[in-house]
Structure 1
Amino acid sequence: MNYSFEYIDIILLAMIAGFIFLRLRGILGKRTGYEGKTPAQFQEVLKKIKVEQNKKPSDKFDDEAKKEFIKGAKIAYETIITDFGDNDNKIKNAKPLLNKDIFNQFDEALQERAKRGHYAEITFIGVNKAEIKEHKKIGNILNVTVNFIAEVITCVRDKEKKIVSGDPGKIKKIYDTWVFSRDITSVNPNWQLINILT
Structure 2
Amino acid sequence: MILALVALFVGLRLYSVLGERTGHEQTFVKASEPDAPLERRMPEEAAGAGSAFDDAGNNYLPLAGPGVRALLAADPGFDVARFLEGAEQAYRMILEAFWKGDLEAVKPFVDGNVYDAFAGAVEAREAQGLSLDNRLINIDQSLIAAANLDKTIAEVTVRFEADIAAITRNEAGDVVAGSMSDAVQTRDRWTFRRDIASSDPNWILVETDEEE
Q: In which range does the TM-score fall when normalised by the shorter chain? A: 0.5 to 0.7
**Residue 61 (structure 1) shift:** 6.1
Instruction: Report the count of equivalent residues.
Output: 138
User: Could you say which residue in structure 1 is the equivalent of 2:48?
Assistant: none
Question: How far apart, CA to CA, are the structure 2 residues paired with 1:61 and 1:112?
Answer: 44
Could you tell me which runs of 5 or more consecutive residues in structure 1 were left unpaired when the two chains were aligned. Answer: 1-57
**Residue 99 (structure 1) shift:** 0.7
Question: Which amino acid in the other structure matches residue 94 of structure 2?
Answer: I
With normalisation by structure 2, the TM-score equals 0.61
Question: How far apart, CA to CA, are the structure 2 residues paired with 1:192 and 1:122?
Answer: 24
User: Could you say which residue in structure 1 is the equivalent of 2:208?
Assistant: 196
Question: Which amino acid in the other structure matches residue 185 of structure 2?
Answer: K
User: Could you say which residue in structure 1 is the equivalent of 2:94?
Assistant: 80
Question: Which amino acid in the other structure matches residue 85 of structure 2?
Answer: K
Question: Greater relative contact order (Cα 8 A, min sep 6): structure 1 or 2?
Answer: 2
Which ranges of 4 or more aligned residues in structure 1 deviate by more than 3 Å?
none
Question: How far apart, CA to CA, are the structure 2 residues paired with 1:127 and 1:85?
Answer: 17
**Residue 92 (structure 1) shift:** 2.6
Question: How far apart, CA to CA, are the structure 1 residues paired with 2:148 and 2:191?
Answer: 10
Question: Which amino acid in the other structure matches residue 140 of structure 1?
Answer: T
**Residue 125 (structure 1) shift:** 1.6
Pick one of 71, 78, 93 that aligns with 2:105: 93
Note the aligned Cα RMSD (angstroms): 1.8
Moved more, 120-129 or 109-118: 120-129
Question: Which amino acid in the other structure matches residue 79 of structure 1?
Answer: M
Question: How far apart, CA to CA, are the structure 1 residues paired with 2:128 and 2:111?
Answer: 26
Question: Which amino acid in the other structure matches residue 119 of structure 1?
Answer: S
User: Could you say which residue in structure 1 is the equivalent of 2:185?
Assistant: 173
Question: Which amino acid in the other structure matches residue 74 of structure 1?
Answer: E
Question: How far apart, CA to CA, are the structure 2 residues paired with 1:92 and 1:154?
Answer: 22
The structure that is helix-richer by fraction is 1
Question: How far apart, CA to CA, are the structure 1 residues paired with 2:76 and 2:98?
Answer: 30
